[in-house]
């Protein structure tokens, strides 16, 4: 049976770009297909979007040689402060303070701007002969048979591989074409994303401030800047989005308060309607879903990309071991090992972020008391605090080798 490559990946976002690098590191050949043009992907200006990469994700990026390309632009997350309150009134007296000194591994993670991660992945892909990246094209159909998966591209080209992987985000067409149903809902919330520069140093502290309309995250970046993820009810977000920069900043300021001194908007403003979208199966015969294509969650814990990186580490390990044993990597029994390993963790994170959003995004006075008691008890219990920190750092559960910093 002739194959064009071992593995076809549809969707070359952050996950669809990191996955082939991991797969190439264990000897596979990969073709990635993405609908976006290369020009769009190469935009390099500061735009204010950033990700919190967990400690375990950082280990994996080191093993894969990605960290060397990004480390000078990362900001360690030293502490995290979680509080509850109302804009303009500040936080209630009860909060949780997660201090990285309680974690022997060091910082819980690092903040990194989107543009640096994208550029690093693109550069590594272009230097890796086992990876072919086709941009500006789309899959129009896919078919699976006993020995492989075949896709047909817009220009009529046929490509065939032993397995097809959907990294095409939460509206995954790979999943839809394969008949995989999704469950989930819209949150009726929008994340407004921007960056600020500020007078006072952020000292590497990330803040999560829960307000009745949704959480506000203040995420430290290098050079006295912070990325802001400001969640608002969808209708109010639409109104805020229509404001000019000066009015937008005026609306944002009561949420931030004055602890950073004078603040200014820098870079672009973005908005993301929020939803939960979980695929009912992550695998079928000859097909697997990875990243948001498998599980798109609420961003309040900053874990979506980290979950996708965990998928990558797990799937790469499963496929590498199957290949070394002489198994056919596209068969359902092999792919199911990946699903079994990832299913519980992703469902638990989806449920936790959904639950926290429901618990905190309201102005119910009884729930407010319950929340404050909850925050105070976590804050006063060192082992509970450490448990949360280990989870946020990606250090809990059965970790695949790449997340333990080991070569497969
Ligand atoms: C406001 C916000 C803040 C966040 N902050 C964090 C954070 O701090 N930490 C964290 O871990 N996560 C965070 N996340 C989550 C993170 O951004 C996502 O989980 C992650 O980007 C998903 O990447 P992906 O590659 O799986 O999907 P996507 O980014 O959706 O990429 C999908 C790719 O598939 C391509 N595609 C789609 N359809 C087709 C098709 N038919 N044919 C070909 N190509 C196709 C698209 O062009 C795109 O390149 C945040 C999310 C939001 C909204």
Instruction: Return the ligand 1 atom nearest residue 138 CA.
Output: 42
Give residue 49's Cα distance to chain centre.
12
Largest CA distance in the chain: 67
| C-alpha to C-alpha distances, 360 to 132, 213, 297, 393, nearest whole angstrom | 45, 9, 16, 22
In tens, the pLDDT along 158-167 reads 999 999 999 9
Residue-level pLDDT at 1: 67
* Residue located nearest, by CA, to atom 27 of ligand 1: 169
CA of 305 to the centre of ligand 1 (A): 8
Cα 131 to Cα 140: distance, rounded to the nearest angstrom: 22
Q: 398 or 95, which is more confident?
A: 398
Nearest residue to 279 (alpha-carbon basis) of 292, 289, 294? 294
Nearest residue to 318 (alpha-carbon basis) of 330, 306, 307, 309? 330
Going by the DSSP 8-state scheme, the letter that residue 225 receives in this structure is E
In tens, the pLDDT along 206-226 reads 999 999 888 999 999 999 999
Cα 20 to Cα 124: distance, rounded to the nearest angstrom: 10
pLDDT band at 320 (very low <50, low <70, confident <90, very high): very high
CA of 296 to the centre of ligand 1 (A): 9
CB atoms within 10 A of CB 327: 13
Q: Looking at the DSSP assignment, which residues form a beta bridge with residue 143? A: 150
Q: Is the CB of 36 under 6 A from ligand 1?
A: yes
| C-alpha to C-alpha distances, 307 to 261, 342, 387, 399, nearest whole angstrom | 35, 9, 18, 12
Q: Is the CB of 330 under 6 A from ligand 1?
A: no
Cα 1 to Cα 379: distance, rounded to the nearest angstrom: 60
Cα 48 to Cα 408: distance, rounded to the nearest angstrom: 35
In tens, the pLDDT along 104-130 reads 888 999 999 999 999 999 999 999 999
Asked whether the beta carbons of 278 and 184 are under 8 A apart, the reply is yes
CA of 292 to the centre of ligand 1 (A): 6
Nearest residue to 346 (alpha-carbon basis) of 404, 280, 250, 393? 280
Cα 93 to Cα 116: distance, rounded to the nearest angstrom: 37
Cα 129 to Cα 112: distance, rounded to the nearest angstrom: 27
Mean pLDDT, residues 387-392 taken together: 90
Cα 363 to Cα 380: distance, rounded to the nearest angstrom: 25
Q: Is the pLDDT of residue 369 over 90?
A: no
Residue-level pLDDT at 42: 66
Query: Who's near 357: CB < 8 A, 6+ residues apart?
Result: 187, 189, 214, 215, 298, 300
pTM over 0.85: yes
Cα dihedral 57, 60, 66, 70, rounded to 10, equals 30
Pairing assessment for the beta strands 75-77 and 214-221 based on DSSP bridges:
unpaired
CB atoms within 10 A of CB 26: 16
CA of 367 to the centre of ligand 1 (A): 32
Asked whether the beta carbons of 264 and 245 are under 8 A apart, the reply is no
Q: Is the CB of 215 under 6 A from ligand 1?
A: no
pLDDT band at 80 (very low <50, low <70, confident <90, very high): very high
């Amino acid at each position: 049976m002739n194959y064009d490559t071992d593995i076809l990946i549809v969707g070359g976002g952050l996950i669809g770009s990191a996955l082939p690098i991991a797969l190439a590191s264990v000897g596979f050949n990969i073709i990635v297909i993405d609908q976006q043009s290369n020009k769009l992907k190469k935009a390099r200006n500061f735009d204010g979007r950033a990700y919190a990469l967990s400690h375990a994700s950082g280990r994996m990026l080191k093993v894969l040689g990605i960290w060397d390309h990004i480390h000078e632009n990362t900001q360690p997350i030293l502490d995290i402060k979680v509080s509850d309150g109302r804009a303009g009134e500040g936080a209630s007296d009860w909060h949780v303070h997660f201090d990285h000194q309680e974690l022997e591994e060091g910082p819980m993670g690092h903040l990194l701007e989107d543009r640096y991660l994208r550029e690093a992945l693109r550069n590594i892909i272009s230097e890796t002969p086992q990876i072919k990246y086709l941009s500006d094209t789309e899959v129009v159909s896919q078919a699976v048979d006993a020995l492989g998966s075949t896709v047909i591209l817009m220009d009529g080209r046929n490509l065939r591989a032993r397995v097809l992987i959907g990294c095409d985000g939460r509206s995954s067409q790979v999943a839809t074409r394969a008949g995989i149903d999704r469950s989930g809902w819209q949150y009726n919330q929008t994340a407004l994303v921007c960056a600020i520069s500020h007078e006072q140093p952020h000292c590497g502290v990330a803040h999560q401030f829960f307000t009745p309309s949704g959480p506000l995250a203040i995420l430290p970046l290098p050079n006295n800047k912070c990325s802001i993820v400001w969640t608002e009810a969808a209708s109010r977000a639409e109104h805020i989005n229509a404001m000019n920069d000066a009015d937008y900043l005026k609306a944002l300021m009561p949420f931030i308060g004055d602890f950073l001194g004078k603040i200014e908007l820098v870079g672009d403003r973005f908005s993301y309607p929020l939803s939960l979208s979980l695929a009912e199966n992550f695998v079928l015969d000859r097909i697997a879903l990875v990243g948001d294509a498998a599980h798109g969650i609420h961003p309040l814990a900053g874990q979506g990309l980290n979950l996708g990186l965990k998928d990558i580490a797990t799937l790469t390990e499963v496929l590498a071991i199957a290949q070394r044993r002489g198994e056919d990597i596209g068969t359902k029994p092999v792919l199911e090992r990946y699903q079994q390993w990832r299913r519980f963790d992703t469902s638990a994170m989806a449920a936790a972020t959904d639950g926290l959003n429901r618990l905190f995004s309201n102005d119910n006075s009884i729930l407010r008391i319950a929340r404050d008691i909850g925050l105070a008890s976590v804050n006063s219990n060192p082992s509970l605090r450490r448990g949360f920190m280990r989870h946020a750092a990606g250090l809990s559960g059965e970790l695949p080798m790449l997340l333990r910093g080991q070569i497969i």
